[in-house]
Every structure is written in C-alpha cells, then in structure tokens.
Amino acid sequence: MRRVVDLDPLIHQATRLKLVALLARNRELTFGALRELLELTEGNLGAHLARLEEAGYAEAKDVLAGVSFETRWRLTERGAEAWRAYLAALRDLLAEET
C-alpha cells in the first residue's frame, strides 16, 4: 500500500493553483494581467494574493510604468520552493506503482 502524499493546501485550492502556476511560469505579472488571465474580480484576486503573501509565497512591488504606478507580483524563493514541492508531491501521487 502506498502512503498518501500531502499536497500544500494553500496552493492546492483551484484558483491559487492557477495563480501560482502563472507566477511560476512568468518572472512577474501585473495585477491587471493576473486579473484578466484568471478572469477574477479585483477583490477575489486580491484575497488570493493576500493569502499567498501572508504565507511568504508571493510579493508585490509598485513599479513606475509611464506616468503611473502598477503593481507587479512574483513568487518569492519560498513560494518557488513550495511550488516545486507541490509538483513533486503531485507527481508522486500520480505515479504508477511498479
């Protein structure tokens, strides 16, 4: 019998899974780009990003873009490590028994 693999519940939630995957695939993304890609309201996206930020998985920075500022999000090193661990646990869970 195989042991059950624990998946990080913070990442495993469907919206945050997509969010972390996007941030892992891209160096950084603006709040607006994330909102459009995930088709979320500002409040919903903000709540998910706040959960990731509280866990130390993501961070924001305001960057001057033209004449105004935009908020860009990226995974922290801790977030990138959590993502890699999540993927490894998922692969282990899905692996065929030999």
Q: Which two tokens stand for residue 17?
A: 């899974």
pLDDT tens for 32-88 read 999 999 999 999 999 999 999 999 999 999 998 888 899 999 999 999 999 999 999
* Domains of the chain and any CATH numbers: 9-91 (1.10.10.10)
At 93 the three-state DSSP class reads: helix
Read off the pTM: 0.88
Which amino acid is it at 7? L
- Alpha carbon dihedral 15, 19, 22, 23, in 10-degree steps, equals -170
- 5: pLDDT strictly greater than 80: no
pLDDT tens for 12-38 read 999 999 999 999 999 999 999 999 999
Contact 16, 47 (CB under 8 A): no
